[in-house]
Amino acid sequence: MFTQSQVANVIYKVTPQDEQYSALGKIVGNRLVKPLNVLRLKESMLYRNFLNCIPIIITKDGRIIDGQHRYRSATSLGIDIYVVIVEDEDVGKIAIALNTNKSNWGLGDFARYWSEQTEDSKVSEIYKQYLEYYNSNNITHGVLIAIYNMEISRRFSTSNGGNKEFKEGRLPFGNFNRRHIEDTLSKIRQVKNAALHRRFTSRTVRKQQFQEALLEALSKDCFKFDRFLSNLCRSKHRFNELAKKADMYNEIIRIEKARRRRK
């Protein structure tokens, strides 16, 4: 497809046995290494060493321009690294250009990727259904993944590997959680249109804090959703002014526990 005359840069493979493997430095002003980013990359690299696709960019004297986290992750695992040498002397401007407006995949991008795969039709169907739920409900990806994992918060879902499983095409979906997903989404939709005296704004219903507060309330055996819905119809709620999940949750419980006034 391409000819040798079109080669612009060469990717070098560096093994743990090579002298340069542990000798790379960094350019002045490069950002600090974040341990959490290193940990996440290590988990991905255990699954596949992708550095041949995204090589570490270095100067001709062995200083890293871009790829500190990838370098730290790979060397801690003792796997091969791949580098591209840049001859340009103005390395600072290269680093700035590489890191300006850089955009990683969002959760929606991962969902679309797996929904369009042809190698595993089951995975494709699961993610197509996920996108149907997402597009048909005013819900965030984080909360929807939590619902799939039968959790009450994206934080719990993330700590238990929910987002990682989701990104790698292992979203759980079957009879064991389908009813839970559809019932929970139905209740979120009902809440949106239940308030009579003061309508919910679309921004309020979309808030991660509100959705997670409702999930937490629904997880309580003593919480009566039908009573909450009925009381909400007559309540002058404060949800549109609230921002914190704890305050949202307290407002949900206040409304659910409210007693009807006797005539």
How much is the pLDDT for 263?
43
DSSP state at residue 13: E
C-beta of residue 47 within 8 angstroms of C-beta of residue 168: yes
Regarding the domain delimited by 9-99, which CATH topology (the fold level of the hierarchy) does it fall under?
3.90.1530
pTM: 0.77
Q: Residue 40 is which amino acid?
A: R
Question: What is the crossing angle of helices 121-136 and 141-148, to 10°?
Answer: 120
Taking the C-alpha atoms of residue 238 and residue 198, their distance in angstroms, rounded to an integer, is 9
Give yes or no for a contact between 127 and 114, defined as CB atoms under 8 angstroms apart: yes
**CA-CA distance, 199 to 117, in Å (whole number)?**
41
Task: For 39, list phi and psi in degrees, rounded to 5.
Answer: -60, -45
- DSSP string spanning 34-100? PHHHHHHHHHHHHH---TTTSPEEEETTSEEEE-HHHHHHHHHHT--EEEEEE--S-HHHHHHHHHS
Give the 3-state secondary structure of residue 25: strand
pLDDT along the chain (263 residues), means of 10: 81 94 89 88 88 92 92 95 86 81 85 91 95 94 93 67 81 90 94 86 90 95 94 90 96 89 48
The Cα–Cα gap between 74 and 5 comes to: 32
Dihedral pair phi/psi, residue 103, rounded to 5°: -130, 120
- Say if CB 19 and CB 63 are below 8 A apart: no
For residue 117, the surrounding DSSP H or E stretch is none
Long-range contacts of 155-163 (CB under 8 A, 24+ apart): 163/107
d(CA 82, CA 71): 9
Segments making up each domain of the chain, as ranges: 9-99, 107-257
SS3 151: coil
Give the pLDDT score at 40. Answer: 85
For residue 262, the model assigns a pLDDT of 47
3-state DSSP assignment of residue 206: helix
User: Cα 257 to chain center, whole Å?
Assistant: 35
What span, in angstroms and rounded, lies between the C-alpha atoms of 168 and 175? 21
pLDDT recorded at residue 184 = 96
22 secondary structure, DSSP code: G
Cα dihedral value 98, 104, 109, 114, nearest 10 = 100
